Structure formats: C-alpha cells, structure tokens
Amino acid sequence: MDIVEALQDLEAKYDFIFKEKQKLAITYIFNCQDTFVVLPTGYGKSKIYSHLPELYELVTHAKGTVLVISPIQALMIDQVTKLENNGVSATFLGEKQTDKSIPARIIEGEFSIVFSSPEAVLNKGPWRRCITQGVFHDI
C-alpha cells in the first residue's frame, strides 16, 4: 500500500477528508523531507501528526513513533490527553513529567506520539538520552 491509498483508507475509516495542505505535509514526511508546517489556528495541524503512526503502519507494516516539538508544556499535556482519549498512546517530555518510567517506555517504543520541548531535546539530560536511544535511534 502506498501513502495515497493509506490516506484514502483513513479517510474512509474515520469519515473525514484530509485537506490538501495536510496531505502535502504527510507526503513530504513520508518522502523523508524535512517538514515545517505553519498553518492557521483550526486548520488541523494536529491531524497531521496524530495520524502519522497509523499511516506509517499501513504503508510499512511496522510500528511508527512520531516526535512532536512544542514550546508549551501545557499544550503538550492537553494534546496527550486528547490523543489518549482517542485511543492513541502518547506522552510528553519535560519538567512537568512526573512519571519516572517514561524514559524507559519511550526507548522501548511504547508510545505512538512523543511530545517534547526544544529544550528537552537540545539540553543534555535524561530527556535527550531517551530520544537518542531505542525507537528513535533505529531511524
């Protein structure tokens, strides 16, 4: 199955239509192109990353994990809650993360989506280590 067929499958499964810029961003990502998405509020940016793991599994038959960089922890926590309520395994990295098991679980590939602040990715420390090993290291 290619990405076009996978997108059509998800549209049928969830009864929605991806917008053209969403499809374009997803296609760039699947073609291993660096992708920076800036779209208006309410356009559906979260729909792009929230469906990537499932699309990846449809196309490659392998589990996918998406790393989302976000500057605001409150927004990350809100997104994780929404995703988990919709059956998507997600977590976040940062100073407000109190679950000490999260780094090991990320390394093992337990989550489909991992949110992180730029600081957690760039600064040396436990959060950076957990995204340079395991599932992210295998890319």
Task: Choose one of 63, 94, 116: the last residue of a domain.
Answer: 63
Residue 97: half-sphere exposure toward Cβ, Cα within 13 Å: 21
pLDDT band at 130 (very low <50, low <70, confident <90, very high): confident
CA atoms of 68 and 54, how far apart (whole Å): 15
The CATH number linked to 71 is: 3.40.50.300
**Same-domain check for residues 40 and 76:** no
pLDDT in tens, 47-65: 999 999 999 999 999 988 8
Domain with 42, as residue range(s), is 1-63
Q: Of 14, 43, 63, which closes a domain?
A: 63
Same domain? 93 vs 126: yes
User: Do residue 48 and residue 88 come from a single domain?
Assistant: no
Confidence of residue 8 (pLDDT cuts 50, 70, 90): very high
Gyration radius of the chain's alpha carbons = 15
What spatial distance separates the first Cα and last Cα of the chain, rounded to whole Å? 21
For residues 74 and 18, membership in a common domain is answered with no
The DSSP code sequence of 47-62 is HHHHHHHHHHHHHHSS
Whether 43 contacts 21, CB under 8 Å = yes
Residues 77 and 133 in one domain: yes
Question: Is the model's pLDDT at 125 over the cut of 90?
Answer: no
**pLDDT above 60 for 139:** no
Both 46 and 77 in a single domain? no
8 Å CB contact between 53 and 63: yes
Q: Which of 133, 83, 89 is nearest to 108 (CA)?
A: 133
